[in-house]
Amino acid sequence: MKRTAVVYYSMSGNTEYVAKTVAESVSGTLIKLTPKKEYPSKGFSKFFWGGKSAVMGDTPALEDYSFDAENFDRIVFGTPVWASSFTPPLRTFIKDNREALSGKEFACFFCFSGGGADKAEEKLKKFLEIGDFSAILVFVDPLAKKSAEKDEKIEEFCKKLAEE
Ligand SMILES: Cc1cc2nc3c(=O)[nH]c(=O)nc-3n(C[C@H](O)[C@H](O)[C@H](O)COP(=O)(O)O)c2cc1C
What ranges do the domains of the chain cover? 4-163
- What is the Å distance from ligand 1's center to 83 Cα? 8
Q: What is the DSSP letter of 109?
A: E
Q: Is the pLDDT of residue 53 over 90?
A: yes
Q: Is the pLDDT of residue 164 over 80?
A: no
Residue 29 to residue 3: CA distance in whole angstroms: 8
User: How would CATH label the architecture of 4-163?
Assistant: 3-Layer(aba) Sandwich (3.40)
- What is the Å distance from ligand 1's center to 77 Cα? 16
- What is the Å distance from ligand 1's center to 71 Cα? 31
- What is the Å distance from ligand 1's center to 1 Cα? 32
Closest ligand 1 atom, residue 112 Cα: 17
Instruction: Name the residue of 14, 82, 153 whose CB sits within 8 Å of the most ligand 1 atoms, as the mutation to test its pocket.
Output: 82
**pLDDT given at position 136:** 96
**pLDDT given at position 159:** 95
Classify burial at 69, counting beta carbons within 10 Å of its beta carbon; exposed 0-12, middle 13-18, buried 19 or more. Answer: middle
What's the whole-number mean pLDDT along residues 112-127? 97
Closest ligand 1 atom, residue 83 Cα: 8
**pLDDT given at position 163:** 86
